[in-house]
Structure 1
């Protein structure tokens, strides 16, 4: 069985290791683990860590340089801008990688005279660099949107006019617009502004775990009704306040599938085991017992089948639902 992961931060690990002089990081460190976890395709994000908030553009440029150097060296990466670019990982020994953005604060400092010109300049340049996915904020409020857990949440709530402008540009270029990390006001602003489906690449059900990063029933229904998709998050904090386990992760899959249908459920694992030794300015203490790393995904699939998911439903959740959404959304 193949797996499509809608959210990975492995680019952060690549950048830190490259800065320390390592090479071929994807091939040496991540490819064997992804293959062990049946991962065929993945959206990998560029995330400006809290430690670099004072100069997000410089950090984004540094991340991009280190990561792309590594990907260009790789024998096992196939960078894609649409599903037409994808290859079978088993036949080619390559992982399909889509480039994403987790937080757009760096765009504010693109070098033009005002926010509008920065957006108008940045967007086509990022598109030309093969980006096709965007989350507007990560635990901060920026010039576009307000995020959950924002350290500066008093600035505003919801999408700004610049956030709406970015949404229009993203729609025009058929980007994947991702609501994970947006607070409730920004979520609904994004939903009502976008003329295309939105996704939540790595969010769970708030009814089972009352964390603001998770989705309310109304948000889950809105994403499904609009033709979007929800990626289940394996990070312990979004699974259960007291007992985060692989079985509780599956509870979220069952809950969302029963609420809107399994065809709107996918995986967005958000594994962070490889970030432990890096000074990112945030802590990731805690684990989801039985689902700490990507190598445990095959065991997860067995458990999900035992919980009652049919072969067809499981194939959909693990791969087909994400692939079908990207096939409809991305136009090259």
Structure 2
């Protein structure tokens, strides 16, 4: 079994939502459930050793548009969120992450040494990520607090606009060049992330925002859960020009398991073959090299192929990649080592260099 480190999941969102309905987040993750994609038993069954776990503030007004007869759709961007309730929700999700660590259900990792120790101890290595920074104030004061709590990765925007920048809509077919990029405050956020050692994730930002970050950041360019636009022209996917820039920066793209971003027809259909996932990996490896491709499942945030279904099915993808000709050393890079390289660089972590 190849251990997998996943670049993006929304398990904290699912646990938070179920806790709001009276559930117990720690028990649900630790003991297992039939809900969603990730819990500790299913992670162990599928070789999921850890990953970037997102604090994401849901947009209640977002309703995905039904495709027309040609499969085309454009979902308008969600309305911007207010900061105060966003901060409350972010704190509640961070609390769940901290409680899971206190219960011994996972290890909240702030350095590569933490990740190494977690894996050696057979503990789920969780890294706190923020998907859309609505909880962060314009003065970036809250960023320091979340950093102290363990935040080590963030995407300035989700697929909506905020004070830091502009997001891409869920649309097919559409270019990611859908609007402006970073705001002045967003540029300050990038600089502060560089200073602190917080990974900057470009998965939901407009193409202009991507180039704004590329000009400012001293980190490798990373899109934690995105796929090639040349294969599936949804606005969320990356153009070849963006992939070229990621390669030049020694960055990384994590394969998103969302079927709408894998299927050539862009449809939401779980009967999406593993061959579609392999096709995307092959394309990314061709554009980025074997060192620039990883996993960014979007578990608990998207409909994934039925042959994967949950974290317990991860080895089905690994087996498909092996059958497609990827050897042991290549699989180790795709499954975890490429993420470790990029995190080490973004975090200024020299202990494991």
Per the shorter chain, which TM-score range?
A: 0.7 to 0.9
What CA distance in whole angstroms lies between the structure 1 residues aligned with 2:180 and 2:250?
Answer: 26
Change beyond 3 A, Cα 1:301–1:68: closer
Query: Which residue of structure 2 aligns with residue 2 of structure 1?
Result: 3
Q: Secondary structure of the residue that 2:187 maps to in structure 1?
A: helix
Q: Which residue of 1 aligns with 2:199?
A: 176
Note if 1:148 corresponds to 2:176.
no
The partner residue of 1:104 within 133, 136, 139 is 133
Would the aligned equivalents of 1:246 and 1:289 in 2 still touch at CA under 8 Å? no
Counterparts of 2:23 and 2:59 in 1: how far apart (Å)? 23
2:293–2:334 CA contact under 8 A, matched in 1: yes
1:317 aligns to 2:334 (yes or no): yes
Match of 1:42 in 2: 51
> CA separation in 2, counterparts of 1:156 and 1:266?
28
Structure 1 residue aligned with 2:112: 83
Tell me what 1:26 maps to.
29
User: In structure 2, how many angstroms separate the alpha carbons of the residues matched to 1:123 and 1:90?
Assistant: 28
Q: How far apart are the structure 1 equivalents of 2:179 and 2:341?
A: 36
Q: How far apart are 1:127 and its partner, in Å?
A: 1.3
Residue-by-residue CA offset, 1:189-239 (whole Å, 9 max, x unaligned): 111121222200000111111111111111111112102111000011110
Tell me, yes or no, if the aligned pair for 1:46 and 1:60 is still in contact at 8 Å: no
Could you list the structure 1 runs, at least 4 aligned residues long, displaced by more than 6 angstroms after superposition.
Answer: none
Which structure dedicates a bigger proportion of its chain to helix?
A: 1
Q: CA RMSD in A?
A: 2.3
Matching residue of 2:299: 271
DSSP 3-state at the match of 1:86: helix
**1:300 to 1:169, Cα distance in 2 relative to 1, 3 A:** same
Shift of the 97–63 alpha-carbon distance from structure 1 to 2, 3 Å rule, reads: same
* Alpha carbons 1:164, 1:193 under 8 Å: kept: yes
The reply on whether 1:130 has 2:150 as its aligned counterpart is yes
CA contact (8 A) 1:235 1:287 kept: yes
Q: In the alignment, does 2:289 pair up with 1:288? A: no
Tell me if 1:326 matches 2:353.
Answer: no
Distance 1:220 1:263 in 2: 13
Consecutive unaligned residues in structure 1, runs of 5 or more: 276-283
Output aligned runs, 1:5-16, within 5 Å.
5-16=6-17
Q: 1:62 matched to which residue of 2?
A: 89
TM-score, normalised by the number of residues in structure 1 = 0.86
Taking the aligned partners of 1:27 and 1:134, their CA distance within structure 2 comes to 25
Distance 1:63 1:26, change over 3 A: farther
Per-residue deviation, 1:185: 0.9
Contact 1:33 1:295 in 2 (8 A): yes
Inter-partner Cα distance in structure 1 for 2:45 and 2:17? 23
Measured at CA, do residues 228 and 100 of structure 1 come closer, stay the same or move farther in structure 2, by a change above 3 Å? Answer: same
- CA 19–289 in structure 1, closer or farther in 2 if over 3 Å, else same: closer
Q: State whether residues 258 and 305 of structure 2, in contact with CA within 8 Å, keep that contact through their aligned partners in structure 1.
A: yes
When normalised by structure 2's length, the TM-score is: 0.82
Quote how far apart the aligned CAs of 1:72 are: 4.0
TM superposition shift of 1:51 = 1.8
C-alpha spacing 1:181/1:11, structure 2 compared with 1 (3 Å)? same
**CA displacement 1:30-53 (0-9 Å, x = unmatched):** 111111110112000100000286
- Between Structure 1 and Structure 2, how many residues are aligned? 310
Q: Which residue of 1 aligns with 2:290?
A: 262
